[in-house]
Structure 1
Amino acid sequence: MKESTRRDFIKKSMIAASVIPFLGLPGNIWALNNEFNPEELSVHIFSKHLQFLDWKTMGQRVVEMGFSGIDLTVRPKGHVLPENVKTDLPRAIKDIQNAGSTCQLITTSVEDVNNPLDVDVLETAASLGVQFYRPGWFRYPENGTMESAIAHYAQKVKALSELNQSLGIVGCYQNHSGKFVGASMWEVKQILAEAIPEYFGAQYDIRHNMVEGANSWENSLRLIHQNIKTIVVKDYKWGQENGKWQPVNVPIGEGMIDFKRYFRLLKNYGINVPVSLHMEYPLGGAEKGKSILTVDERVVFDAMKKDVNSLKKLWREA
């Protein structure tokens, strides 16, 4: 086989592998895949880090920095409060779109289909064309076994997936290091086991997976890759703070994550999904979602632009 023909075959195969799982789904969910390009990365900034901006200004700055869109916080202390979702989310998305950006992802505190406020968030988001949402994290109760807790949360996720199917939106559970349910990808796999796979999957976070799994992260990615709907990116290294060893967050490319290896694996699996960029290294309070900064806004914008450009370059080179 000629090399040029081989490259074309690989590219077409990757596209097919990414689209096939989505056939038969409501058209508005997978509109993004009509523009699928394995050579480009769709990066959305986590709006937590732009809490000091209003919706319209945020949309304008995001376009200027080269992001594909915004992963909007629709949760307590977020850009849109859950109790105001019916009035404020339409206004927020309109302002973002009028600025030339998009809102395909939201981050929420949703946990239970029996909570009317959670249902309001999902119904409103779906009606506005939001494609993906991250729910809140589950926690292990002090009483009872971990196995029973996982079984309980698997039923909650199943119910959410059924609601998602009726609305045309996809839930994505993020793995998070620490004591949350889902620090291990095996836990995530188990809580997703009974969900409708097209409507509830994983938001894979390479940073948190490496903190918990160190050199076994490739096994975890292999385990969960068929469930991945969106991914989170950030970088870190181990260091001492106040005399204690712990993960220290750093700009993209300055830490321990081998992004080229990671991105090559994603490409091999045929995965090119929306990316939410998180920036948790010191940025004058922006890293913590502060509405008042201790640095000039341009410091934050410059850091964001640098990170998004680094990610796109690493993806192209992988």
Structure 2
Amino acid sequence: MNRRSFLGTTTLTGLGLSVSGLLADESAQEEKTARQIAVFTKYFEHLDYADLAEKIAPLGVSGLEAPLRKKGHIEPEEMTKELPAFNAALAKKNLEVIIMASSINAVDARGLAEEQLRLAARLGIKRYRLEHLKYDLSKPLAPQIANFKSQLSDLAALNKACGIQGLYQNHRGNNFVGAPIWDMVDILSDIDPAHLGMAFDFAHAAVEGSNAWEINFRRALPHIGAVFFKDYKVTGKKWSACPLGEGMVNPKAGKLVSRMLPTNIPASIHIEYISGEDVVDRSVEAMRHDFATLQKWLG
């Protein structure tokens, strides 16, 4: 304890105030304002809800980026029936769905998107990730961008009505909307990020932007509602997933997040370098490694 802390403590004690109580309040405040970190449970989809929570809880993360989509933990048509039980199983282990990875990228005529979003919001899920959009490269791009802008404006209005935030992830790929970042920034330019913003993926930004990843991050900054961390190595012309810190993603990304984004914007860890036998247990260990690395990067 330094001199200032000692004098402050002595004064409080003299006034009859509980030092332990104040320290507990301070600790609770720090915990409340800490950035939430989730893990993407893409390779855990075959586990039942209790087993899933049992595997993730010891990591010490805030919760899950849960694939609640086609071929995910819960199929879209089964959400009404299954999502409350899924949430309850996580809650027993002090976990929550930080981001729902969905099959939604438009307002559909059936109303399935609205049904899912209203249910998720009612259960306390604050954010969902959109299904990716793709360009038809046999057609001019400008009219497609205009159509995507209209499509996502309508979806943002639905999000506002439901009380949930949509997030569009930039993804590497020759025909992925948002791969170059600037097209998605343009699409979102007139949309309130509280209703629909970006999940900025540093790995995909490094693959597509190389040295321009930081420029792209700074340009996207007003629209960012979450950040995704994973890593890739490059051998010749081939990209391959690897543990965080062993590839192209610059540790500076963590410092930028801590300095430039408020703590209510969560981070999610994606593990994509595990395959073969015992994929669940090995993925848990990989998550533990990447979580420790990300904590160091975030400072």
Q: Deviations over 1:173-195 (max 9, x none)?
A: 00001021110110110121232
Residues 1:254 and 2:246 aligned together: yes
1:188-267 paired onto structure 2 within 5 Å: 188-240=184-236, 245-259=237-251, 261-267=252-258
How far 1:43 moved relative to its partner? Answer: 1.4
Structure 1 equivalent of residue 134 of structure 2: 139
Whether the aligned pair in 1 keeps the contact of 2:258 and 2:298 (CA below 8 Å) is no
Structure 2 equivalent of residue 82 of structure 1: 76
Mean Cα deviation higher: 56-65 or 75-84: 56-65
1:38-117 paired onto structure 2 within 5 Å: 41-115=35-109, 116-117=111-112
Q: Deviations over 1:124-170 (max 9, x none)?
A: 11111100100111111355321111111111111111111111100
Residues 1:36 and 2:36 aligned together: no
Structure 1 equivalent of residue 268 of structure 2: 276
Q: How many angstroms apart in 1 are the aligned matches of 2:280 and 2:192?
A: 42
Q: So what's the TM-score if we normalise by structure 1? A: 0.80
> Secondary structure at 1:104's aligned position in 2?
strand
Whether the aligned pair in 1 keeps the contact of 2:255 and 2:297 (CA below 8 Å) is no
State the one-letter code of the partner of 1:171.
G
Q: So what's the TM-score if we normalise by structure 2? A: 0.85
Structure 2 equivalent of residue 304 of structure 1: 287
Whether the aligned pair in 1 keeps the contact of 2:87 and 2:97 (CA below 8 Å) is yes
The aligned length equals: 269
Q: How many angstroms apart in 2 are the aligned matches of 1:84 and 1:297?
A: 24
Pair 1:226–1:296, CA change in 2 (3 A): closer
Pair 1:33–1:149, CA change in 2 (3 A): farther
1:101-180 paired onto structure 2 within 5 Å: 101-115=95-109, 116-178=111-173, 179-180=175-176
State the one-letter code of the partner of 1:96.
L
State the one-letter code of the partner of 1:173.
Y
State the one-letter code of the partner of 1:151.
A
Mean Cα deviation higher: 135-144 or 63-72: 135-144
Q: How many angstroms apart in 1 are the aligned matches of 2:119 and 2:30?
A: 22
Q: Which is greater in Rg?
A: 2
Whether the aligned pair in 1 keeps the contact of 2:257 and 2:298 (CA below 8 Å) is no
Q: How many angstroms apart in 1 are the aligned matches of 2:30 and 2:96?
A: 15
> Secondary structure at 1:213's aligned position in 2?
helix
Q: How many angstroms apart in 1 are the aligned matches of 2:287 and 2:47?
A: 14
> Secondary structure at 2:66's aligned position in 1?
strand
Whether the aligned pair in 2 keeps the contact of 1:154 and 1:195 (CA below 8 Å) is no
Q: How many angstroms apart in 1 are the aligned matches of 2:184 and 2:31?
A: 29
> Secondary structure at 1:148's aligned position in 2?
helix
How far 1:34 moved relative to its partner? Answer: 8.7
Q: How many angstroms apart in 2 are the aligned matches of 1:191 and 1:224?
A: 11
Runs of 4+ in 1 over 4 A off after TM superposition: none
How far 1:47 moved relative to its partner? Answer: 1.6
Q: Which structure ranks higher in relative contact order (CA pairs < 8 Å, sequence separation ≥ 6)?
A: 1
Whether the aligned pair in 1 keeps the contact of 2:166 and 2:197 (CA below 8 Å) is yes
Q: How many angstroms apart in 1 are the aligned matches of 2:83 and 2:201?
A: 26
Pair 1:143–1:254, CA change in 2 (3 A): closer
Q: How many angstroms apart in 2 are the aligned matches of 1:102 and 1:264?
A: 26
Whether the aligned pair in 2 keeps the contact of 1:162 and 1:196 (CA below 8 Å) is no
Q: How many angstroms apart in 2 are the aligned matches of 1:174 and 1:192?
A: 12
Whether the aligned pair in 1 keeps the contact of 2:274 and 2:282 (CA below 8 Å) is no
Structure 1 equivalent of residue 9 of structure 2: none
Mean Cα deviation higher: 262-271 or 194-203: 262-271
Q: How many angstroms apart in 2 are the aligned matches of 1:296 and 1:269?
A: 35
Give the RMSD, CA atoms, in angstroms: 2.0
Percent identical across equivalent pairs?
A: 29
List gaps (5 residues or longer) in structure 2. Answer: 5-28
